[in-house]
A and B are shown apart, each in its own frame.
Chain A
Amino acid sequence: MPRRLPGQFLTPVIVALALTTGACNVARVTLNTTIELNDVAFIEPGRTTLSDVIAKLGAPDSMTDSDNGVVVTYRFLDVRYSRVNFGWLVKPWSPVDPDLVFSRLGLGVDAFQILCDSNLVVQHRSFLRHLAGPQFSPYPF
């Protein structure tokens, strides 16, 4: 069996090193815990009071006045970011520090809103869904 030359080892080692110096990043930012449909299934418009909702879901993030009563909002946020720098692949052979970055940010802004009447009884409930999009895909095209 012929012995492998040191140079044959060198290329994969350099490529591995280039790949292994922080070329990829995955990050996520979340604000509060997401409320799902199951979490709000107990709310019956016309019967459930704001106190019942608060007892289950906790204090809301905002309360605002409207012509028809009070609007209570629970907000949550989910931001997903991924980034790959393909420039690192040619770094060992290039005299400059090249960058070829693909990155993508998904901003998921979500809220659960409740409209209560003047007696603080729930009249309507609804989700505002703007989901974060693909799961950590850095491909921007």
Chain B
Amino acid sequence: MNALRNVGLVLLLVVSACAFNRGTLGDDIKPDVVNTIKKSTTTKAEVVTLLGAPDRILQVNGRDVFQYYRYDAKAGSLLLIILNFSRLSVKSDDLFILLNREGLVEDVISSRRTEALEFRFWPFGD
């Protein structure tokens, strides 16, 4: 019990504050909406109706590619008495919709990296 009290006392003396911050850019790309997009069936207009206007339109191999993205940032700060540690982690969700020359969806490429994003304080290591 004494050891526990001492650890608590040391923590109180050493950790003066901590902070959690978060920032996002763009709307969440909902997987259930992405799953409704079918190859060779869904049209360009339907994609826009489902997801809104794309963040970027690319031309790849003569085909249109709609790109949607979302960024999520989580920052943790540990304000010790001697040292301040901060770490900001940023990850992105990206969705690419490849359209053929007829305006139908040819392929859907998506990933959700932000699901694994955590608040981290320790700046060292990976």
**B-contacting residues of A (Cβ < 8 Å)?**
19-34, 51, 54, 58-65, 69-70, 77, 80, 118, 135-136
Known: A58-B113, A64-B60. A28 touches B90 (CB 8 A): no
Query: Within the assembled complex, what's the spacing in Å between the Cα atoms of A134 and B36?
Result: 47
B68-112 CB mask vs A (1 if < 8 Å, else 0) is 000000000001011111111111101110000000000101110
Report whether B88 and A29 are in contact in the complex, using a CB–CB cutoff of 8 Å: yes
Question: Most chain-A CB neighbours within 10 Å: which of B60, B65, B107?
Answer: B60
Question: Most chain-B CB neighbours within 10 Å: which of A19, A22, A24?
Answer: A22
Interface size on B, residues (CB 8 A): 30
Closest B residue by C-beta to A32: B91
Contacts of B94 in A (CB 8 A): 58-61
Known: A28-B123, A30-B89, A58-B113. A22 touches B84 (CB 8 A): yes
Report whether B86 and A20 are in contact in the complex, using a CB–CB cutoff of 8 Å: no
Contacts of A77 in B (CB 8 A): 90
Our count of residue pairs bridging A and B at CB distance below 8 angstroms stands at 86
Closest B residue by C-beta to A24: B83
Report whether A30 and B90 are in contact in the complex, using a CB–CB cutoff of 8 Å: yes
Report whether A33 and B113 are in contact in the complex, using a CB–CB cutoff of 8 Å: yes
Question: 9 A-B Cβ contacts within 8 A?
Answer: A20-B82, A22-B81, A58-B113, A60-B94, A61-B92, A61-B94, A65-B59, A69-B61, A80-B123
The residue from A24, A59, A136 contacting B124, defined by CB atoms under 8 A apart:
A136
The residue from B81, B88, B95 contacting A21, defined by CB atoms under 8 A apart:
B81
Query: Within the assembled complex, what's the spacing in Å between the Cα atoms of A30 and B60?
Result: 29
Report whether A63 and B60 are in contact in the complex, using a CB–CB cutoff of 8 Å: yes
Report whether B96 and A59 are in contact in the complex, using a CB–CB cutoff of 8 Å: yes
Closest A-B pairs by Cβ, 4 of them: A58-B111, A28-B123, A59-B111, A20-B81
Query: Within the assembled complex, what's the spacing in Å between the Cα atoms of A51 and B111?
Result: 12
B58 within 8 A of A: yes
